[in-house]
Amino acid sequence: MVANRLAAGTSGVVIAGSLLAVQAQTRPLGFAAQAVTVQMSESVCRLSRTSVKIGNVRFKSMNFGRRARSFSIARRHTPFVRPGGTRALTVSFGRSGRYRYVCAARGRPLSRRTGFLRVVAPSAPDRVITAVGDHTSSATDPEDIAVKNAVLRINPVAHLGIGDFQYDNIGTILGGYDKIWGPRPKGLYPIIYPTAGPTHDVTSCTDARYQNYWGRPAMKIYSFDLGSWHIISLPSAAVRYRCDVAGITTALKADLASSRKRCTLAFMQEPYWTRPTGKHTRENGVKPWVQALYDANADVLLQASNHDYQRFAPQNMSDRPDPARGLHAFVVGTGGISLYPFTGTAPNVEASNDRTYGVLKMVLHANGYDFEFVPVAGGTFTDSGSGTCH
């Protein structure tokens, strides 16, 4: 008999050896909890490690004594168990691994019973993010306001701003984008992770207006982690103005090599994979960055600049389908400023729309992701699917 308490959010915890497999309650901060079956004739149980180094074992129930890796069962705590019956008590662990436990009646070591627990750490929780670029020229732009409202309804933990925040240039951002998405430091500003595109975000290698607003250098790579995901911002404006592109490539490779996360997402303004419009086609200058991402088995690439929505099948650097390790690329330039009609196609396009404003929603799992294009209120186009990390 193995009893355990189940919470709304349970983790896959496996109990091996003489115990059954259960899903046991987990504590905050990732502590795994497990049930140990105690016979009525036993009064002392002890835990010890067998194959892994462990920290202090943390006990959850008042039944347990204060000594590390041991607990006692008093008869007064088990009035409902008849002699020869059993009771399950819950023990919480600070680390995953394989543990050995021994139970015996006090003063009767020959009566001891041995078993093993295999504790599996809970998976990282899902994280919801949103992403979009190409926004507004004023504080009253109804399309950009509608996009912002769509983001508010989704309520993400992070929003990826894929460049071109203010038209005609960032010098007027306080009178436009900031009033809609902020005002800084309030509103959505604290959860926005930006990236710089040319012309509207910066106009040269030394243009400081982007950094003055966002608090980040326009021409530098940066990255952060969310759960099992490593997320990288790439400054495609550096390609247009020739601002140490080789140095950024080196920094990107080092960043990718140092990451220990299972999944990787990158975002930048200028698109490498895109259907052509009358304004933009492929930006070949970012190819070294895309190659580095592909070589490192990155998973997702988000782009903008073309004012429309596009989704590509995972593909390699030769524009051929590559479901095993190809980059899953999107264009999300539907932030509100305008929409660009397509003038041609491109290999591996799976979905595209040039008539709908909206935002890309992504649910980041421990081993994969779900995506959904969420249109503004009144919009009818949508697109959704899922992917698995390499």
- Is residue 21 included in any domain, yes or no? no
Token pair 């001891």 is found at: 112
Tell me: do 298 and 373 sit in the same domain: yes
Residue 197 within a domain:
yes
Give the pTM: 0.74
Number of domains in the chain: 2
pLDDT at 124: 73
> What is the percentage of the chain residues whose pLDDT exceeds 90?
68
370 CB-contact burial (10 Å; exposed 0-12 / middle 13-18 / buried 19+):
middle
pLDDT at 8: 24
Peptide bond before residue 185 is cis, with ω within 30 degrees of 0: yes
Among 119, 149, 164, the domain boundary falls at 119
Q: Distance between CA 166 and CA 189 in Å, rounded?
A: 14
**Residue 163 pLDDT > 60, yes or no?**
yes
pLDDT of residue 107: 77
Specify if 12 maps to a domain. no
Which is nearest to 165 in space by CA: 133, 210, 120? 133
Q: Are residues 90 and 168 in the same domain?
A: no
pLDDT, tens digit, for every residue of 29-40?
Answer: 344 566 777 777
Q: How far is CA 230 from the centre of its chain?
A: 7
Arithmetic mean of pLDDT, 208-225: 97
Q: Are residues 208 and 279 in the same domain?
A: yes
Note the maximum CA span of the chain.
86
92 and 138 in a common domain? no
Question: Does the residue 9 lie in any domain?
Answer: no
Per-residue confidence (pLDDT) for residue 236, from 0 to 100: 97
Q: How many Cβ atoms are within 10 Å of 306's Cβ, its own excluded?
A: 28
Weakest-pLDDT range from 45-49, 136-140, 296-300: 45-49
Tell me the pLDDT of the chain averaged across its residues.
84
**Pair 178, 241 in one domain:** yes
Instruction: Specify whether 377 is located in the same domain as 336.
Output: yes
Position 361 pLDDT exceeds 80: yes
Residue 350 pLDDT = 98
Q: Is the pLDDT of residue 203 over 90?
A: yes
Q: What angle do CA 296, 298, 304 make, to 5 degrees?
A: 130
Instruction: With respect to residue 349, please indicate whether it lies within any of the assigned structural domains.
Output: yes
Q: Is the pLDDT of residue 327 over 60?
A: yes
Q: Are residues 309 and 259 in the same domain?
A: yes
CA distances from 163 to 65, 151, 195, 270 (A): 57, 16, 5, 9
Are 181 and 113 found together in one domain?
no
Residue pLDDT, tens place only, 252-299: 999 999 999 999 999 999 999 999 999 999 999 999 999 999 999 999
Residue 355 covered by a domain: yes
Mean pLDDT for 225-239 is: 97
Summarize the confidence of residues 16-26 as an average pLDDT: 26
Q: Is the pLDDT of residue 25 over 50?
A: no
- For residue 128, the cross-strand partners are 363
pLDDT digits (tens, 9 = 90+) for 52-95: 333 444 433 333 334 445 666 655 444 455 666 777 766 666 66
pLDDT value, residue 45: 76
Q: Last residue of a domain, which of 57, 92, 119?
A: 119
CB atoms within 10 A of CB 22: 17
Q: Are residues 113 and 131 in the same domain?
A: no
Check whether residue 134 and residue 104 sit in a common domain: no
What domain range is 331 assigned to? Answer: 127-388
The bridge status of strand 229-233 relative to strand 263-267 is: parallel
6 inside domain: no
Select from 119, 138, 161 the last residue of a domain. Answer: 119
Q: What is the CATH number of the domain that holds 147?
A: 3.60.21.10
Q: Are residues 170 and 52 in the same domain?
A: no
Which tens digit of pLDDT belongs to each residue from 342-353? Answer: 999 999 999 999
**Facing residues of 329 across strands?**
301
Q: What per-residue confidence (pLDDT) applies to 370?
A: 97
Residue 62 identity: M
